[in-house]
A and B are shown apart, each in its own frame.
Chain A
Amino acid sequence: MRRIGVMLMVAAVAAAGCGARATVPTLQPASNTSTETTIDEPVEPIDPAPVSGSTTTSTSDAPSPAPAEPPDVAVDEIDLMLLDIDETLAELDQLLNDAAAALAAEEGEILP
Chain B
Amino acid sequence: MMMKRLVTAGLAVAILAAVPGVAVAQEAPARPTTEQEATRADRGAEWVETLKSRALEAIEKRLVTIGELEAAVNRSETVAADHAAQLLNELRASAVGLEALAGEIREVEDLARLWALIPKIFEDYRIYAVVAPKVHLVLAADHASSVADRMANVESSLGEALDRLDEAGFDVAEGVKLLTEMDRLVTAGKEQAGSVPDMVLGLTPADYPGSSETLRSAQSVLQSGTGDLRAAGQTAHEIVRFILNVLGGDSTE
Listed in ascending order, the chain A residues whose CB lies under 8 Å from chain B are: 52, 54, 56, 58-59, 62, 64, 66-75, 77-79, 81-82, 84-86, 88-89, 91-93, 95-96, 98-103, 105-108, 110-112
Contact = CB atoms under 8 A, between A and B. Distances in A.
Contacts of B184: none
Given A67-B170, A107-B128, A95 B139 contact: yes
Interface in B114-129: 118, 121-122, 126-129
B153 to A, nearest CB: 7
A78 B158 contact: yes
A112 to B, nearest CB: 8
A46 to B, nearest CB: 23
Given A67-B169, A69-B168, A102 B132 contact: yes
Interface of B: 50-51, 54-55, 58, 61, 72, 118, 121-122, 126-129, 132-133, 135-137, 139-140, 143-144, 146-147, 150-151, 153-154, 157-158, 161, 164-165, 167-170, 215-216, 219, 222-223, 226, 229-230, 233, 236-237, 240, 243-244, 247-249, 252-253
Contacts of A98: 72, 136, 139-140
Contacts, number: 143
Contacts of B151: 85
B223 A79 contact: no
A79 B243 CA distance: 11
B249 A92 contact: no
B13 to A, nearest CB: 51
B128 A106 contact: yes
B168 A99 contact: no
B158 to A, nearest CB: 6
Contact of A96 (B150, B154, B222): B222
A103 B244 contact: no
Given A95-B139, A110-B55, A71 B165 contact: yes
B168 A68 contact: yes
Given A68-B168, A71-B167, A88-B143, 8 more contacts: A58-B248, A95-B139, A100-B219, A101-B136, A105-B133, A107-B128, A107-B129, A111-B118
